[in-house]
């Protein structure tokens, strides 16, 4: 399975995919949202 999120926003879909073990690709044009998404994704990485 692969999820494509062309409007990532703050990365909620990416985080959900991480938790479910689903691969994802996301794009965000707004730099502020992209940075927030990156932080959210890193914060939710398994340890």
Residue 29 has a pLDDT of 98
pTM of the model: 0.86
Residue 20 has a pLDDT of 95
With a cut of 50, which residues of the chain have pLDDT below it?
A: none
Residue 45 has a pLDDT of 86
Note the Cα 13 to chain centre separation in Å.
Answer: 6
Measure the CA–CA gap between 17 and 19, rounded to whole angstroms: 5
Residue 26: closest CA among 18, 45, 46: 18
């Amino acid at each position: 399975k692969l999820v494509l999120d062309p409007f990532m926003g703050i990365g909620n879909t990416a985080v959900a995919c991480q938790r479910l073990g689903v691969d994802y690709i996301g794009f965000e044009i707004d730099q502020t949202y992209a940075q927030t998404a990156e932080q959210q994704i890193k914060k939710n990485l398994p340890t």
